A and B are shown apart, each in its own frame.
Chain A
Amino acid sequence: MTEQSGDDRALEQVTGEMRDAPSGDLDWDRLERQLMARVDADARETRRSGGGRLAVILAAAAAVLLVLGVGLLRGDRAPQAGVQPVATTASRVFGPGQTQIDGNQLAGGDRVVAEAQAVVVSHPTRASYTLEPSSQATVEAVGDVIRLRLTQGAISAEVVPSPKPETFVIEVDEARVAVHGTAFRVVRTERGVNVSVSEGVVAVGGVGQKPSFFLRARDSGAFAKNGLTGEVQRGAEAAVEPPAVDPKPAGSAAAKAPAPATPSESGVAKALEQISASVSRCFTQSGAPGEVRVQMRTQLDVAFGADGKPHAMTFEPPLSPSVLACVQSDTAKLRFPESARGGSAQRSILVASE
């Protein structure tokens, strides 16, 4: 017979030998004692967090306000060189002197503090996150959704994919970063929050609101403290693409209804310019807060019909439905020159609010 047959038989034999190998001796009594102690502690914690939910929320709110107050007094520089734990009476503090924390020991209201060394918190089967040196976070919830409030520094997280809409949330001020099945990093900065995604999809928005941004693998973004506004860098290409339009809003010129395109060699460029201006105007109109300047880059891909009308106009990342509807309305009368009809064009568009 062949050598392969010997391999197969050897595989079968050694598999059987491994199957028959007795389990190593475990100290079952000790294991049981530890397990039951953990179970009892968890039950107590659940009762505590359930019965005192209001107290915990108030304590967490107080902690956040205190952190914000401290941040403002210090010019809100982050990450700080040293960690100044916030004094609260209702929360427990984990982290100092530890590098590994079992996430199941945490309950709402607890704080995790990383001083000189990073602290890794593991929620087996769900997520693990690393609080980077000189960082602090408050645990807001550890139920179906793990929710943290990053009060200082940075967190890197790896979240196990789940069919649930979101299983892991990090809040920074009023910004909310929600994920399901991904690896990403969140940094609290002077002006808001930076998010970089290495795997999966991350949604960024305001607390209690629908997401305003979706970041994919290799994307990064800087967002305001309210999470509603910010700038997203798409992968590597975004960094080298020159802005297609002036970052300033189109203003009054863009507010005008677009005029029919002139059939010339620059007709396509002019038509694209009009679409860009429309995107800027609609984006500005969409209601970004006046005191925060917002930038957004999107890739336009437009095909022209035989009649010169733009159709199959797509934006990547997509525009919000209201902005898209506004742009479509704006450009309904737009016509591409005859020479370009039946073709398509792409353009990177950078828009900004005031």
Chain B
Amino acid sequence: MAQSWPGVVVPPALLVPMATERPAQHTITVTARTMEPDESERLVERCQAGDRTAFRELFVRHRTDVARLVQRMTGPGADVDDLVQEVFFQVHRSVKDFRGQARFSTWLYRVTVNVVLMQRRSAKSRPVLVETPESLTPVSSGLSPDEDAARHARVRAFGRLLEQISEKKRTVFVLHELQGLSAAEISEIVDAPVLTVRTRLFYARRELAELLKSEPSLAALAKELSGTEEAQ
């Protein structure tokens, strides 16, 4: 299965041999992020000059990463389409202020995080309908139907657990563990020292590990893995 790893910049020297020498099932799909800084920066410059086509190209290039981050940061019932649209609209409005202090993708993630947090805060006062976070529902991945369903249930349960930890810890956890960003990059995105980011990550993991017990599907997995280890 082809995989993309948002946030992970694979050195070109590694990419070429992997793409040509390894078997097809290990092919890595190079996402837009690996094309930075040249492509995105050029597009940003053109955007800053008012080039509509360049903005559209930036959107196409980065929309999947943004959508994935939005999906992972939002709880059930979030309107991902609207949030993604809002992120890029804000990018269009603010791109003139981007001076290249950080990588464009870092800046874009920062905008995304801010848009999502703002939405979550404004939604706090509104009733939330608890429903399946479809965006986090795994599709068939070649596993047996039973395994697929179990995996499906675990991902849904884990989405609920993420909702239970604080906003700051959740943001750092999602950016690091799910988006693959480094602590230094997250530090720029959330505007906090690297040490603070690491601390939040540590406590996020600890809280989530503790919360696993409250979700039967995850508690069963933990028990199973614990048993496996003891058997070994």
Contact = CB atoms under 8 A, between A and B. Distances in A.
Interface of A: 1-11, 13-15, 17-24, 26-28, 30-32, 34-36, 38-40, 42, 104, 120, 122, 124-126, 128, 158, 160
Which residue, of B84, B89, B141, B223, has the highest number of chain A Cβ atoms within 10 A? B89
Contacts of B114: 124-125, 160
Given A17-B138, A19-B178, A26-B81, A10 B222 contact: yes
Contacts of A160: 114, 118
B122 A128 contact: yes
A128 B118 contact: yes
B115 A125 contact: yes
B153 to A, nearest CB: 10
B88 A125 contact: no
23 contacts: A5-B226, A5-B229, A6-B223, A7-B209, A7-B210, A9-B222, A14-B212, A15-B158, A18-B155, A24-B80, A26-B80, A26-B81, A31-B63, A35-B59, A35-B88, A36-B52, A38-B85, A39-B89, A122-B122, A124-B114, A124-B119, A128-B122, A160-B114
A7 B67 contact: no
Interface of B: 3, 52, 55-56, 59-60, 63-64, 67-68, 71-72, 80-81, 84-86, 88-90, 92-93, 111, 114-115, 118-119, 121-122, 134-139, 141, 151, 154-155, 157-159, 177-178, 180, 205, 208-210, 212-213, 218, 221-227, 229-230
Contact of B137 (A24, A40, A120): A24
A248 to B, nearest CB: 44
B158 A18 contact: yes
A18 B178 contact: yes
Given A5-B229, A17-B155, A24-B135, A10 B89 contact: no
Nearest to A102: B86
A125 B114 CA distance: 5
A34 B122 contact: no
A124 B79 CA distance: 14
A23 B135 contact: yes
